[in-house]
Amino acid sequence: GQNIDQPTEMTATEGAIVQINCTYQTSGFNGLFWYQQHAGEAPTFLSYNVLDGLEEKGRFSSFLSRSKGYSYLLLKELQMKDSASYLCAGETGNQFYFGTGTSLTVIP
Amino acid sequence: DAGITQSPRHKVTETGTPVTLRCHQTENHRYMYWYRQDPGHGLRLIHYSYGVKDTDKGEVSDGYSVSRSKTEDFLLTLESATSSQTSVYFCAIRGTGEKNQPQHFGDGTRLSIL
Q: What is the pLDDT of residues A5-29, one digit of tens each?
A: 999 999 999 999 999 999 998 667 8
> Is B45 near chain A, with CB under 8 Å?
yes
Cβ-defined contact of B42 to A43 (cutoff 8 Å)? no
Q: How confident is the model at residue B40 (pLDDT cuts 50, 70, 90)?
A: confident
Contacts of B44 in chain A (CB under 8 A): 98
Burial environment of residue A34 by CB neighbours within 10 A (0 to 12, 13 to 18, 19 or more):
buried
* CA-based nearest residue to A82, from A49, A22, A34, A33: A34
Residue B102 to residue A33, Cβ atoms within 8 A: yes
- Which of the residues B46, B93, B105, B109 would you substitute to probe the A interface, choosing the one with the greatest number of A C-beta atoms within 10 Å? B105
Quote the pLDDT of residue B82: 96
Amino acid at A67: S
At A3, the pLDDT band (50, 70, 90 cuts) reads: confident
Helical segments of chain A, H only = none
Angle (CA) B17-B13-B23 rounded to 5° is 85
Which pLDDT belongs to residue B41? Answer: 86
Cβ–Cβ below 8 Å for A94 and B41:
no
- CA nearest neighbour of B81 among B10, B6, B33, B20: B20
Quote the percentage of chain B above a pLDDT of 70: 96
Chain A residues whose beta carbon lies within 8 Å of the beta carbon of residue B103: 33, 45, 96
pLDDT of residue B63 exceeding 60: yes
- Burial of A53-78, coded b for 16+ CB within 10 Å and e otherwise, reads eeeeeeebbbbbeeeebebbbbbeeb
Q: What confidence category does residue B64 fall into, taking pLDDT thresholds of 50, 70 and 90?
A: very high
pLDDT band at B96 (very low <50, low <70, confident <90, very high): confident
Q: How far apart, in whole angstroms, are the C-alpha atoms of residue B104 and residue B5? A: 11
For the cut 90, the answer to whether the pLDDT of residue A61 exceeds it is yes
